[in-house]
Chain A
Amino acid sequence: MSWSALFTDRRWRWIAWSAVALLLLALPFIIEALLGRSWVRIIAVALLFVMLALGLNIVVGFAGLLDLGYIAFFAVGAYSYALLASPQFAVHWPFLVLLPLGAAIAAVFGVLLGAPTLRLRGDYLAIVTLGFGEIIRVFLNNLNRPVNITNGPQGITLIDPLQMGGFSLAHTHTFAGLTFAPVHNYYFVFLVCAVLSIVLSLRLENSRIGRAWIAIRDDELAASSMGINTRNLKLLAFAMGATFGGVAGGLFASFQGFISPESFHLIDSIMVLCMVVLGGMGNVAGVVLGAVLLTALPEALRYIGPLQQRWLGGVIVDPADLRMLLFGLALVLMMLLRPEGLWPARRRRVAPVHTGNADVG
């Protein structure tokens, strides 16, 4: 019996899934014991990126719309939360209002971006979304004059943590003999959100809407002649993808307590896209794998510095540069070895031979 059969076989799957769930619950404590608290933070961030990558996967992987400005929705979500829960405007709305609100605002932005770009295909769409992402960032950077809204490049500080009544995630709690530091608390919140995103993505993929998206991706003309309303469904893909980004943005703002336009560069959009493509576009499990891997890889490469010290007796190459160098190299190598992604979607594998022209764009 193969490993994957463990998760599908009726007798074993409950045990297998319970084991995974237990592992995920215990993970921050195991990681803290083995690698230290900074890695707990990294896996929490990895979960945020899982949400982001799953959102982008709806746009790129399911509907086949190449979006190079996805981080803008993350930024919109983060700023919606930060502006309404910080001393910036001296308002402190509860997160139960703000997270849905951020998601809604991001969705509106998604439709705003989608509406004028519906006629564009492939790389034209890519460059317009890229421009959109940059426009949002430049506005965030400059909207401190004449009226100070975003506080410009300094960013917004002292953002409220997630809290309800007297219970704040920013405090350390002790429960059942375990110490829950703020990172642990956030890890569990992010875990719930990431799992929800995964379930939502899987359900979407097999729904009527998901199948319509995949039909549009594989051949838009054929899809529309089968009666699929391509315009509305593409807009829906943008809006849904943006929603994921908006929620993740709000969580990010509350987690960090500080945001600035510097967190929302084009390179971040590209990073999320790399997660989707590298993991296996269109396949939810692959995308999750890609997100975790690409968050952890640059962090793991930080250990290069000390290793250099030990093996070569001195820091010859600036570790930060070397880290990025190896990261670029890893991107190239992984793509050369597995052009379909690390864990490609099954549907693509059984699809009839494609001609190259009608491929996903």
Chain B
Amino acid sequence: MDIFAQQLINGLVLGSIYALVALGYTMVYGILGLINFAHGDITMIGALVALTIVQALAAAGMPAPVVLIIAGGGAMMVCAALGLSIERVAYRPLRRAPRLAPLITAIGVSILLQYSAALIWGKQYIAMPKLLEPAAIDIAGAQLTTLQLAIFLLACAIMAALLWFIKASRMGRAMRATEQNPDVAGLMGVNTNTVIAFTFVLGSAIGAIAGLMIILYYGIGHYFMGFMLGLKAFTAAVLGGIGNVGGAVLGGLLLGVIESLASGYIGDLSGGVLGSNYRDIFAFLVLVLVLVLRPSGLLGQHSGDRA
């Protein structure tokens, strides 16, 4: 079953990246009840910033680990600043507005980010300079590259750290309190504005790392890459139960695995009638099925009339 093992590995690696992006969606949704449509594009900006830094530094002949750390740090800072200002300018003034109003500004910001990126980096695909020569490890007849392993482990470490942070730290407790009831949290002395701003910064910084991983994995960047990535990540967040941080991790991994298994097997199963170009459908079909059977996602609680 080496195809199975191979697709499982690919799926887990891809899924861990989806999960990182999904965390940004789910944290914001949990606290504000807002689909931050621009999050996928923040990830794209992170990816392209990292790519630019790598191009510049790799040309200067710096060693690969140093380049990657600087690129990751730079991308995180740019994205954190971006997330902070988007929250401040586009979402905060609309916090008491009808629910769909911030959704439209989010779409506006998303378009704004995409075409700003198109102006800065152009519309062509940008190739990532080859930094690493990943070695391949043989597991159960399938190949796992060291790059895949590193991405997966780093993603898991970030997710574990985030779960711990939300559970144990003072800021994490403030985030949970704000999520349950912003007004009461405010009365208890939580500065909800700071908490919300912090959530955006945290989500965007994690998105930046996911962006770096994506360009390392695929070796290519593009101004529109945030769109499908954001869509998949949001699907993952909903799959796990949106607003639930653990659910985003589960949903992301699950979506990645389902997608790569489906695209690996669909050709054989349907006798060559359906090709792997149907793989995007699979993600959505699973989503529809899960939601029909469990309307609030795998780990979500019944939200009652929160709609």
Contact = CB atoms under 8 A, between A and B. Distances in A.
B112 interface: yes
A142 B94 CA distance: 41
Contacts of A317: 119
Nearest to A129: B288
A277 B102 CA distance: 10
Interface string A134-170: 1100110110011000000000000000000000000
B96 A356 contact: yes
B231 interface: yes
A329 interface: yes
Interface string B273-307: 11101101101110110011001110000010111
A340 B97 contact: yes
B276 to A, nearest CB: 11
Interface residues of B, number: 55
A335 B108 CA distance: 9
Contacts of B97: 339-340
Interface string A327-361: 11111100110011000000000000000111111
B201 to A, nearest CB: 20
A339 B296 CA distance: 28
Interface string B25-39: 000010000010000
| Interface majority SS (helix, strand, loop, mixed), chain B | helix
B226 to A, nearest CB: 13
Interface in B95-134: 96-105, 107-116, 118-119, 123
Nearest to A136: B281
Contacts of B96: 356
**Most interface-central of A221, A322, A359 (chain B CB within 10 A):** A359
Contacts of A274: 104, 107
B108 A332 contact: yes
A221 B307 CA distance: 12
| Most chain B beta carbons < 10 A, residue from A139, A317, A335, A339 | A335
A119 interface: yes
Contacts of A330: 108
Given A138-B277, A281-B98, A281-B100, A131 B235 contact: yes
B189 interface: no
Interface stretch (A80-88, A91-99, A120-128, A171-179): A120-128
B242 A142 contact: no
A124 B231 CA distance: 13
A122 B93 CA distance: 22
A273 B305 CA distance: 23
A134 B280 contact: yes
B205 interface: no
B284 to A, nearest CB: 3
Interface string B203-235: 000000000000000000000000000010011
Contacts of B112: 325, 328-329, 332
B281 A321 contact: no
Contacts of B107: 270, 274, 331
A328 B235 contact: no
B238 interface: yes
B279 to A, nearest CB: 9
B197 interface: no
Given A124-B296, A135-B284, A146-B273, A328 B101 contact: no
Interface in A229-277: 266, 270, 273-274, 277
Given A360-B99, A361-B307, A131 B284 contact: yes
B90 interface: yes
Given A120-B295, A130-B231, A360 B104 contact: no
Nearest to B243: A123
A58 B299 CA distance: 32
Nearest to B94: A339
Interface in A55-83: 60, 66
Contacts of A361: 99, 307
Interface of B: 29, 35, 89-90, 93-94, 96-105, 107-116, 118-119, 123, 231, 234-235, 238, 242, 273-275, 277-278, 280-281, 283-285, 287-288, 291-292, 295-297, 303, 305-307
10 contacts: A119-B292, A142-B274, A219-B305, A277-B100, A321-B123, A331-B105, A331-B107, A336-B105, A339-B97, A339-B98
Given A124-B296, A336-B90, 19 more contacts: A121-B307, A123-B242, A126-B35, A127-B238, A130-B231, A131-B235, A131-B287, A134-B231, A134-B281, A142-B275, A322-B119, A324-B111, A329-B108, A331-B104, A332-B112, A335-B101, A339-B94, A359-B98, A360-B100
A-B pairs, 4 with minimum CB distance = A331-B108, A131-B284, A328-B111, A339-B97
